[in-house]
Amino acid sequence: MNHFMNSKNKKTLLAISTLLLFTGLTIYAVWKKSTKSTFGGTDTEFAVTDTASVDKIFIAFKDNRPPSTLTRKADGTGWRINDRFDVLDTRMKMLLRTIHGIKVRRPVAEKERESAITSLATDATKVEVYQNDELVKAYYVGVENNYSDANYCIIDGFEDPYLVHLPGLNGVINVRFNVSEASWRDTKLFNSPSRSIKRLEVFYFNDTANSYVIDQTYSSFRVNGRGDFDTAALVGYLYKFGKVYAENILGEGHEAMADSIRLLQPTGFIDLQDTDTARSRKVTFYINPENPDILFGFDNRQKDLLKIQHFVFDPLLYQRKAFFKK
């Protein structure tokens, strides 16, 4: 009888010990999952919900491409890349939406864990997000999965990779972090509301008679010093300078082409002076005899060659007589 009771007690103790062991492992797993990294957040918290306070994003690549740093302008009017060029507003908004909305689709399965970690170590993009110049999030964005609906990602400082995605996006997110000066720099030529244009000169080197200067003082206009202009024509014309973009900026690798364009006689220039000097710009443009379907140009802010589409630039090239009624 005593032997039976001892055996029963041993089984009970063994069951209790096993239960305690599993309970301890469960608690440890939960604790590990909820442990925060040095910059805050668990290993599943990729998103930065308050992107309005994000002031810097650093992106580095595993290959030979140079890293890029995106910084918000102090006046809040936009972003710059590597403290050299303004950034295209559309691309910046896309990146911030991605950083805000990135979600875990599922943990990486055990059978794909090793290959996922290997790919993240060799072929991933590191993303660091700062708020008030303080690091708040850092993670690695890897390649896409076999279904092309998620990317392998891991938060810096943790061991477990996940498959992440952007809800509502029919595609993968790694391409959204492919940041470079060449593709992200702003191609804007003019960005002036008509009411803020102080002076606008359009000059044609081979047609000086149709060149003109428009002056505005307290909403009072003059065209070549005259006040008898067609008001509707003038107002409609100045409105065109609200958003004008070059097709492309041909920077590094196009120096020889830029030098050859500079040897040509300029076709003309547009010199816009804005009440906000940051929006003032002078663009000298050229028609290349070898390719007259494309305009090339330079502005007074940077040395790189501009490639400009006729359908964008031609509407700005009025003749002086267009402002005066017959």
Tens digit of each residue's pLDDT (9 = 90 or more) over 221-248? 999 999 999 999 999 999 999 999 999 8
Mind listing the pLDDT tens digit for each residue in 80-135? 999 989 999 999 999 999 999 999 999 998 888 998 999 899 999 999 999 999 99
Residue 1 has pLDDT above 60, yes or no: no
Residue 321 has pLDDT above 80, yes or no: yes
In a domain, 166, yes or no: yes
- pLDDT for res 16: 54
Query: Do 192 and 296 belong together in one domain?
Result: yes
Query: Do 112 and 219 belong together in one domain?
Result: no
Q: What are the φ and ψ backbone dihedral angles of 49, each rounded to 5 degrees? A: -75, -35
In a domain, 164, yes or no: yes
Of 180, 213, 235, the last residue of a domain is: 180
In a domain, 36, yes or no: no
Query: Do 174 and 239 belong together in one domain?
Result: no
3-state class percentages of the chain: helix first, strand second, coil last, to nearest 5: 35, 30, 35
Residue 13 has pLDDT above 90, yes or no: no
Query: Do 171 and 287 belong together in one domain?
Result: no
Residue 23 has pLDDT above 50, yes or no: no
Question: Percentage of residues in the chain with pLDDT exceeding 90?
Answer: 65
Query: Do 172 and 243 belong together in one domain?
Result: no
Query: Do 78 and 150 belong together in one domain?
Result: yes
At 325, the pLDDT band (50, 70, 90 cuts) reads confident
In a domain, 110, yes or no: yes
**pTM here?**
0.73
Residue 36 has pLDDT above 80, yes or no: no
Taking alpha carbons only, the member of 137, 133, 61, 135 closest to residue 98 is 137
Q: Find residue 304's DSSP bridge partners.
A: none
Query: Do 162 and 140 belong together in one domain?
Result: yes
Mean pLDDT of the chain: 87
**Least confidently predicted of 21-35, 123-137, 234-248, 308-322:** 21-35
Query: What's CA 187's distance to the chain center, in Å?
Result: 12
- pLDDT for res 12: 55
| Whole-angstrom distance, CA of residue 234 vs CA of residue 147 | 55
Mind listing the pLDDT tens digit for each residue in 288-309? 877 888 899 999 887 889 999 9
| Whole-angstrom distance, CA of residue 312 vs CA of residue 188 | 11
Q: Bigger pLDDT: 78 or 36?
A: 78
Angstrom distances, CA of residue 159 to CA of 43, 116, 122? 8, 11, 16
Query: Do 223 and 147 belong together in one domain?
Result: no
Query: Do 230 and 165 belong together in one domain?
Result: no
Of 180, 215, 240, the last residue of a domain is: 180
Query: Do 144 and 218 belong together in one domain?
Result: no
Tokens, residue 36: 């925060």
In a domain, 94, yes or no: yes
Query: Do 174 and 210 belong together in one domain?
Result: no
Question: Which residues are CB-contacts of 290 (< 8 A; sequence separation ≥ 6)?
Answer: none
In a domain, 18, yes or no: no
Range of the domain at 240: 188-323
Question: Percentage of residues in the chain with pLDDT exceeding 70?
Answer: 87
At 319, the pLDDT band (50, 70, 90 cuts) reads very high
- pLDDT for res 21: 45
Sheet with 125-131: strands ordered across: 85-86, 79-81, 68-72, 54-61, 125-131, 134-144, 151-155, 162-165, 103-107
Of 125, 146, 180, the last residue of a domain is: 180
In a domain, 155, yes or no: yes
Query: Do 105 and 69 belong together in one domain?
Result: yes
- pLDDT for res 190: 96
In a domain, 304, yes or no: yes
Mind listing the pLDDT tens digit for each residue in 251-297? 888 899 999 999 999 999 999 999 999 899 999 999 987 788 889 99
Number of domains in the chain: 2
